Structure 1
Amino acid sequence: SLMLDKNQSRQLLRIITSSEHDFKEAGYTYSTSMSDKRIIELFPGGQNQVVEYEDRLSYVELVVNARLEENANQTDVVRQGFLSVIPRYTQQRFQTELSPLCYLLTLEELEQRVCGDPEIDLDLLKRKTQYKGATVNSNVVKWFWNVMKGLSKEDRQRFIQFAWARSRLPHDMATNNNIKMLLNFTKTSEQALPKAQTCFFLVDMPMYSSEEQMRQKLMQALECDEINS
């Protein structure tokens, strides 16, 4: 965690406010416990060096810095992902690498740029869908979109999660030609549930004999997916 846990925060506060006698009794060394319970030295040989009472504030600062830097690599990956959505701004007169666009967006607009819209646009999804084993005029295709139209906002998100391992469509889906959903209609048993290959945004849909059967089987698949995840 990038933030100190409550137990460690309380411990550091006790160190700052403790009496000299209690501090020396504790026998602190220049080491600390990380979030995964590893004990690390705050500098080479620190585990063998006792912290003096007058140096306790410096010790606390070293502990805090160690915890804040604990997930630096993971945080940098998140930062790079953020900057892939919000463009960099590299002119020297600005003290940030974020585009001024950031400061023109509301929090809701920024969330949509980064995470996608929580409302699943069925018209957009339909335009970006390809079919195998059926055509756009096939009954099974028409039934599928009727079923999707009848789903709640939450169930539409569950379907996207089931099909693509994410609950929202990306903000650039309309213009990104690389994003397509593939509906593969298969001649398996009508008792079988739809299956998904999330890496490819691909859904294997049995050739059900009615719209109601398709709806029931799809909802069962979504429920099973939610339980398994």
Structure 2
Amino acid sequence: MNKRVSDFQCYHDGHIVIRWFWGAVERFNNEQRLRLLQFVTGTSSVPYEGFTALRGSNGLRRFCIEKWGKITSLPRAHTCFNRLDLPPYPSYTMLYEKLLIAVEETSTFGLE
């Protein structure tokens, strides 16, 4: 995930929740970061051209964080849109724990 190629809906890049999100990403180990990438984009690898080349269902689609949900909700992802719906958690600890649960306990699906 890359801060410079991210969009925000109802948040801005300096919003406390967004700063906490990037703090959590920095705290994640490499495997957790790959799981987060898989959770949000549907793939565990960065495009050859970098994050600016992330693709969605309709072509190029930047990573986006949207304000959504109640603080009791886990973050949810829309892989076709490279979008993470992130509730307005009241603390870094809550955000970190909920994000970790979402990326580690969520099963992915695929075609075999």
Q: TM-score, normalised by structure 1?
A: 0.43
| Matching residue of 2:63 | 181
Structure 1 or 2: more helix by fraction: 1
Counterpart Cα distance in 1 of 2:27 and 2:52: 26
Q: Do the aligned partners of residues 175 and 158 (structure 1) sit closer, same or farther apart at CA in structure 2, a change above 3 Å counting?
A: closer
Tell which structure's C-alpha radius of gyration is larger. 1
Give the 3-state SS of the residue equivalent to 2:85 in structure 1. strand
Q: Do the aligned partners of residues 218 and 175 (structure 1) sit closer, same or farther apart at CA in structure 2, a change above 3 Å counting?
A: closer
Matched, 1:219 2:96: no
Counterpart Cα distance in 2 of 1:129 and 1:175: 9
Which of 188, 191, 194 pairs up with 2:72?
Answer: 191
**Structure 1 residue ranges (4+ consecutive) displaced by more than 3 angstroms after TM superposition:** 174-177
| Matching residue of 1:135 | 12
Residue segments in structure 1 that go unaligned for 5+ positions in a row:
1-121
How far is 1:175 from its partner?
Answer: 5.4
Deviations 1:149-201 (A, max 9, x none): 00000000000000011001101125548341010012x22110000000110
Percent of aligned pairs with the same amino acid = 27
Q: Do the aligned partners of residues 222 and 182 (structure 1) sit closer, same or farther apart at CA in structure 2, a change above 3 Å counting?
A: same
Counterpart Cα distance in 2 of 1:170 and 1:217: 27
Deviations 1:87-113 (A, max 9, x none): xxxxxxxxxxxxxxxxxxxxxxxxxxx
Counterpart contact for 1:128–1:179, Cα < 8 Å: no
Give the 3-state SS of the residue equivalent to 2:106 in structure 1. helix
* Residue identity in the other structure for 2:26: K
**Counterpart mapping for 1:60-139 below 5 A:** 122=1, 125-139=2-16
* Residue identity in the other structure for 1:148: V
Counterpart contact for 1:182–1:203, Cα < 8 Å: yes
CA RMSD of aligned residues (A): 1.7
